[in-house]
Amino acid sequence: MDTTVQLAPASYPATPVWSYDGTIPGPVIRAAQGSRLERRLVNALKVPTSIHWHGIRIDNAMDGVAGLTQDAVPPDESFDYAFDLPDAGTYWYHAHTNSMEQVARGLSGALIIEEATPPDVDRDEVLMIDDWLLDPDTGLFIDDFAAPMTRSHGGQIGNLVGVNGRYDYRLPARQNERLRLRLINSANAQIFGLKLEGLTGWTVALDGMPLAAPEPVTDTLVLAPAQRMDLIVDVSAEEGETAGLLFAAADDTWRVLAEVSVKGRAASVTRGTPQPLPRNPRMEIVGVDEAPVLDMPLQGGAMRGLESATFDGQRMGWQELVQNGQFWALAGQVGLGKTPFATLSRGETARIRMTNDTIFPHAMHLHGMHFRVRKEDGALGPLRDTVLVMPNETTEIAFVADNPGKWLLHCHMLGHAASGMTNWIMVL
């Protein structure tokens, strides 16, 4: 629905947004692991839409991808989503019809699947990190969601950043409290460099999936679009000291993204390193070394371009692609083709080698299944659903194709996805 929100400081007029249930971000949905989630999308917008439940190993028919797993829901119509929740963790939901515009206007929210036995923390907090490109005079989104300039470069970066729909988000806390912070990057294209101040923390999960062992936060944390990171932090700052989550601003200074405002103190207990979160089912990926490798070059964009690629069933050169508003290709294919990038049999282990031949980073997201990054020496990284592939970098992912259906694989810089960086795989 349409509603108005004060995203920016009071000197900006309030911003008309598109929302789930009237709030930005949408309501936090919390459900128990192993339960079934049912939600009716009632489309009160003037344009078609659909909802994707990002990171859930979901029934394909409920994945929300207009044009692949369902038809977009027209204005005034509804769609019933109902699916099982096999995994605990931090997930999110967002529009998946013209998402470049719809997510930027506000259509996203957190989806938290709770473990039967939660970790020992005093509080569990969602921090949904976003940016907005607003006109300071009108408070309106700078309306050109489809600007070729941003789509062919790094994507749309906001002039204002915030958490949970506020530019000045504050989390009250007491010294010595232990908090679980669930970070979600819902920005269209911004990669956040983050650090903690006045907090001692551990990373306990990535993209919803628990790490085998909590990792102390010592360095800058990188959170690419669509990625999540669960931290457990102890509030070490005392009342009056600065504490919170900082981000690296474009001018290379650290700024406060979410302030933890410390008032008073809780009795000090020495809890030490937190226990790992309970494992989710089906976290093992076996037979990776023997699995065939599928090559997926990431190509296009400003400065590099493409010699030619297939768009809409036709081979096109760079000039022709640009005329069609397309700038990127995955494995020589621009946007969704009729045939999948790969067809896998159910249960098969697969490897996809993504080579970034562009001068921009890309946050590559696979729907329906989590993967591990396979290093050159064969070592496997943590389970993820979105991985950042830097320019001139080759990243190989390995996964078990255990979820049947048609699954999107695309860049989560949403302007890139809309202008070609989208492909799909079929699991039979």
Q: Which one of the spans 1-9, 56-64, 266-274, 358-366 is the region binding Cu ion (CB under 5 A)? A: 358-366
Q: Give yes or no for residue 425 binding ligand C2O (CB under 6 A).
A: no
Q: Give yes or no for residue 411 binding Cu ion (CB under 5 A).
A: yes
Residue type for position 105 = R
Residue 226: contacted member of Cu ion, ligand C2O, none (CB under 5 to 8 Å, by partner type)? ligand C2O
Residue of the chain from 7, 20, 94, 399 that contacts ligand C2O (CB under 6 A): 94
Q: Distances from the Cα of 267 to the Cαs of 235, 264, 282, in angstroms?
A: 12, 10, 39
Q: Give yes or no for residue 416 binding Cu ion (CB under 5 A).
A: yes
Q: Which one of the spans 36-44, 70-78, 106-114, 406-414 is the region binding Cu ion (CB under 5 A)? A: 406-414
Cβ atoms 188, 252 nearer than 8 A: no
Closest CA to 418 of 336, 354, 341, 355: 336
Residue of the chain from 134, 194, 277, 408 that contacts ligand C2O (CB under 6 A): 408
Q: Which is nearer to Cu ion, 37 or 387 (CB)?
A: 387
Q: Give yes or no for residue 180 binding Cu ion (CB under 5 A).
A: no
Q: Give yes or no for residue 52 binding ligand C2O (CB under 6 A).
A: yes
Strands (E), 59-191: 78-84, 89-95, 108-114, 123-132, 160-163, 170-175, 178-185
Site for ligand C2O in 235-274 (CB under 6 A): none
CB atoms within 10 A of CB 209: 23
What's CA 344's distance to the chain center, in Å? Answer: 25
Instruction: Output the CA torsion 133→300→369→215 (10° steps).
Output: -70
Q: Which is nearer to Cu ion, 195 or 416 (CB)?
A: 416
Collapsing DSSP to helix, strand or coil, 100 comes out as helix
Q: Give yes or no for residue 151 binding Cu ion (CB under 5 A).
A: no
Q: Which one of the spans 37-45, 116-124, 153-161, 407-415 is the region binding ligand C2O (CB under 6 A)? A: 407-415
Q: Give yes or no for residue 180 binding ligand C2O (CB under 6 A).
A: no
Q: Which is nearer to ligand C2O, 89 or 244 (CB)?
A: 89
Q: Which one of the spans 10-18, 150-158, 281-289, 406-414 is the region binding ligand C2O (CB under 6 A)? A: 406-414
Site for ligand C2O in 122-161 (CB under 6 A): none
Residue of the chain from 153, 195, 362, 370 that contacts Cu ion (CB under 5 A): 362
Q: Which one of the spans 32-40, 78-86, 299-307, 405-413 is the region binding ligand C2O (CB under 6 A)? A: 405-413
Q: Give yes or no for residue 406 binding Cu ion (CB under 5 A).
A: no
Task: Count the alpha carbons within 13 Å of 151 in the hemisphere toward its beta carbon.
Answer: 22
Residue count at the site for ligand C2O (CB under 6 A)? 10
**In the complex, what is the shortest distance from the CB of residue 386 to ligand C2O, in angstroms, rounded to a whole number?**
8
132's tokens: 């907005």
The C-alpha atoms of residue 94 and residue 61 are separated, in whole angstroms, by 16
The C-alpha atoms of residue 412 and residue 395 are separated, in whole angstroms, by 16
Residue 362: contacted member of ligand C2O, Cu ion, none (CB under 5 to 8 Å, by partner type)? Cu ion
**In the complex, what is the shortest distance from the CB of residue 94 to ligand C2O, in angstroms, rounded to a whole number?**
6
Closest CA to 416 of 147, 158, 53, 161: 147
Collapsing DSSP to helix, strand or coil, 166 comes out as strand
Collapsing DSSP to helix, strand or coil, 422 comes out as strand
CB atoms within 10 A of CB 10: 7
Q: Give yes or no for residue 96 binding ligand C2O (CB under 6 A).
A: yes
The C-alpha atoms of residue 338 and residue 313 are separated, in whole angstroms, by 8
Q: Which is nearer to ligand C2O, 188 or 299 (CB)?
A: 188
Give the CB-nearest residue to ligand C2O.
54
Residue 402 exposed, middle or buried by CB count within 10 Å (0-12, 13-18, 19+): middle
Q: Which one of the spans 176-184, 313-321, 353-361, 408-416 is the region binding ligand C2O (CB under 6 A)? A: 408-416
365's tokens: 């997201």
Residues with Cβ within 8 Å of 48's Cβ and at least 6 positions away in sequence, in order, are: 66, 72, 73, 74, 75, 97
Q: One symbol per residue from 292 to 321: x for binding ligand C2O (CB under 6 A), - otherwise; what is it?
A: ------------------------------
Residues contributing to the site for ligand C2O (CB under 6 A): 52, 54, 94, 96, 226, 365, 367, 408, 410, 412
